[in-house]
Chain A
Amino acid sequence: GQNIDQPTEMTATEGAIVQINCTYQTSGFNGLFWYQQHAGEAPTFLSYNVLDGLEEKGRFSSFLSRSKGYSYLLLKELQMKDSASYLCAGMDSNYQLIWGAGTKLIIKP
């Protein structure tokens, strides 16, 4: 079957660094995606990885290891506005997105 696993909740301190892990199992693989979703709002696209390695975009970076079925989202210099849920999604061979349940990130001052 297809499955995406990520922690339910994480807590971090403002100004610190946090890494949100995601493991995936999909039928075929066409990429791994991260979305941010603030409470009561729509998900918004953060990053896309299809090759192994690290993709950096400002304070956010995303890493992929296809051999391990593993990805992480790294958030640096945390700000209070980063408090949100982070959704990991894998794209299967039919270009359908398989979504994880999301990781709720709580930032404390």
Chain B
Amino acid sequence: NAGVTQTPKFRVLKTGQSMTLLCAQDMNHEYMYWYRQDPGMGLRLIHYSVGEGTTAKGEVPDGYNVSRLKKQNFLLGLESAAPSQTSVYFCASSSLQTGETGELFFGEGSRLTVL
């Protein structure tokens, strides 16, 4: 069972470059999320989606864009990377039911460094 898969796992960017992180889930989940995790801080929600074709802003959306063209995929884009976006990015998904009980299924993370 693949679960939630993120690509790439590691990436180094120069300031101003753009990139896209891909998240794919095979559990037919409605809800998908992008979080960032920084040392000494809790997970912070960037954007989320409650279904195919819908997206919404989370706590820290600035500098990021997302798209959910297919139910199984959730893409996170960095338009013009900045050093402050150096972080570990986690994608997660949940079904309609578990979205209300908090059980998220996470990908393995994507470590992004912006120089």
Contacts and interface: CB of A to CB of B under 8 A. Distances in A.
Contacts of B101: 31, 48
A41 B110 CA distance: 10
Contacts of B43: 43, 87, 89, 97, 99
B108 A33 contact: no
B36 to A, nearest CB: 11
Nearest to B111: A40
A53 B43 CA distance: 26
A3 to B, nearest CB: 10
B41 interface: yes
B45 A42 contact: no
Contacts of A100: 42
Interface residues on B, range: 20 to 34
Interface in A51-107: 87, 89, 91, 95-102
A41 B9 CA distance: 11
A87 B40 CA distance: 12
A26 interface: no
A8 B39 CA distance: 11
Given A100-B42, A101-B41, A95 B99 contact: yes
Contacts of B40: 8, 101
Interface in A17-36: 30-31, 33
A13 interface: no
A42 B107 contact: yes
Interface of A: 4, 8, 30-31, 33, 40-45, 48, 87, 89, 91, 95-102
19 contacts: A4-B42, A31-B101, A33-B103, A42-B4, A43-B104, A43-B106, A44-B106, A45-B103, A45-B104, A45-B105, A48-B102, A48-B103, A87-B42, A89-B42, A91-B102, A95-B100, A97-B102, A99-B42, A99-B44
